[in-house]
Amino acid sequence: MKIIIAGAGAVGTHLAKLLSREKQDIVLMDDNEEKLIAMDGNFDLMTVCASPTSIAGLKDSGVPKADLFIAVTPDESRNMTACMLASNLGAKKTVARIDNYEYLLPHHQEFFKKLGVDSLIYPEMLAAKEIVSSIKMSWIRQWWEFCGGALVLIGVKMRQNSTILDIPLSQMGKRDVPFHIVAIKRGNETIIPRGDDMIRLYDIVYFITMPKHIPYIRKIVGKEEYSDVRNVMIMGGSRIAVRTAQFAPDYMNLKIIESDPARCNRLTELLDDKTMVINGDGRDVDMLVEEGLKDTEAFVALTGNSETNILACLAAKRMGVRKTVAEVENIDYIGMAESLDIGTVINKKQIAASHIYQMMLNADVTNVKCLTFASADVAEFKVKEGSAITKRKVKDLGLPKGATIGGLIRDKEAIVVSGDTQIQPKDHVVVFCRSMMIKKIEKFFN
């Protein structure tokens, strides 16, 4: 597959690194040669120093033969123009990074397709939705819904009062449990578990289950004393903060702490009365306490500085806040953030890459999610008639090591998958695998 990425910024370079491991034909283009030098010798890809809005530059990059053209420069209008030109030159599919929520409205999508922009991606909005999902329950690290919410994936850190520690999963399965453990994150290792694996103290365990069984999981992992989230404090008035406030449920009370007075005025214009905007330095712990930090169930750090966000979450934890979320855009800091036990980490580069990666797959995939901590991906496939996945029971399919099927939806009914499950055409199947393995899995669904 020939893929051209226009824009060697944070999202573009992260995506290029990921896709180069897949042995795809990758071209990374940018008009800043310095940005390209670091990528040229270290990864299996080609770089082209040219403007994404130059017709000659697009031709030199091979756009007329491109299967996928991705424009992810910081400039929205430049991305749109580049996609229109690329489509006109012969690119089969185009994706533009945008900053305007209006463009995503359903009645605008057909208009943009006619112009040559097939898909739009708004990383800040995707990050905000993930933040809102993660703060709905103070005891959950990550939350992801499949098939319209019929199945959910939740990540939970194990503490001493969990009742499922040090028990082989095969024994746990004999109890007819209403969940499937699809992955265990232990230190820097991600385990796709087998029957003889056991859950250890401080593991982050990923469950796939139905919403009605979440209280049961909450009980067995020992999190019943965690209070529900009602009061949320956000440090930093970024675009992600604005979208988080807009997507948050009505029952939540939000406070945004922002140091720039002009930005505070703008936030007041953008947000409704349920969100209080406070002008102040979010690094000032005394000020945070004065504004009610100790009565806050969730603290979200969204400044432009990863270190500041990590330290702020650590301070909030020490003040008794159970749920903290940090935006960490420096990939190298994500492991450190987990080792410090700060809670949920948000990285918009990885979130954007997950959505773009979905567009490369030939199978019918409706959802791809990159799990920040676990170095793993989870995807929702729709099963086609005659596909290999329908030929045998799950235990006999020969799925590659590092992959597991967590659950499925059949006729709107959620089913937790076991080794004896027989997958049928039209099922929606949730697959969990190590990072960047989805291309190996999709052959079972074609």
The two structure tokens encoding residue 168: 């082989």
Q: Which residue has the tokens 């440090």?
A: 235
Q: How many whole angstroms separate alpha carbon 6 and alpha carbon 73?
A: 7
Angle between helices 239-247 and 261-270 (to 10 degrees): 30
3-state helix, strand, coil in the chain (%, to 5): 35, 25, 35
Q: Which residue has the tokens 């929606």?
A: 428
Residue 178's Cβ-side half-sphere holds a number of Cα atoms within 13 Å equal to 15
pLDDT of residue 446: 81
Q: How many whole angstroms separate alpha carbon 248 and alpha carbon 271?
A: 12
Write down all domains in the chain, each with its CATH number in brackets. Answer: 2-121 (3.40.50.720), 127-132+227-346 (3.40.50.720)
Q: How many whole angstroms separate alpha carbon 268 and alpha carbon 276?
A: 8
pLDDT of residue 220: 94
3-class secondary structure, 18: helix
Residues of the chain with pLDDT under 70: 173-175, 358, 360-368, 370-375, 436
Are the CB atoms for 419 and 399 separated by under 8 Å? no
Locate all alpha helices (DSSP H) within 63-148, ordered by sequence.
Answer: 76-89, 106-115, 123-135
Model pTM score: 0.83
- The full DSSP string for 305-374 is -HHHHHHHHHHHHHTT-SEEEEE---GGGHHHHHHTT--EEE-HHHHHHHHHHHTT-SS-EEEEEEETTT
Kindly report the length of the chain. Answer: 446
Residue type, 229: V
Q: Could you report the per-residue pLDDT of 343-364, keeping only the tens digit for each?
A: 889 988 888 887 787 676 655 6
Dihedral of alpha carbons 82, 435, 126, 321, sign = negative
The two structure tokens encoding residue 91: 């690119």
CB count within 10 Å of CB 322 equals 18
The two structure tokens encoding residue 272: 């409704």
Are the CB atoms for 257 and 282 separated by under 8 Å? yes
Are the CB atoms for 213 and 153 separated by under 8 Å? no
**Rounded to the nearest 10 degrees, how much is the dihedral formed by the CA atoms of 325, 328, 329, 330?**
-170
Q: How many whole angstroms separate alpha carbon 277 and alpha carbon 51?
A: 40
The two structure tokens encoding residue 189: 């290792």
pLDDT of residue 365: 66
Among the listed residues 46, 53, 113, the one whose alpha carbon sits nearest the alpha carbon of residue 81:
53
Q: How many whole angstroms separate alpha carbon 46 and alpha carbon 20?
A: 10
189 contact partners, CB below 8 Å, separation of at least 6: none
Angle between helices 106-115 and 76-89 (to 10 degrees): 50
pLDDT of residue 190: 85
The two structure tokens encoding residue 244: 């988080």
Q: How many whole angstroms separate alpha carbon 308 and alpha carbon 313?
A: 9
Q: How many whole angstroms separate alpha carbon 323 and alpha carbon 19?
A: 33
Q: How many whole angstroms separate alpha carbon 260 and alpha carbon 226?
A: 34
294 phi-psi bin (left φ>0, alpha ψ -120 to 50, beta other) = alpha
Q: How many whole angstroms separate alpha carbon 328 and alpha carbon 342?
A: 11
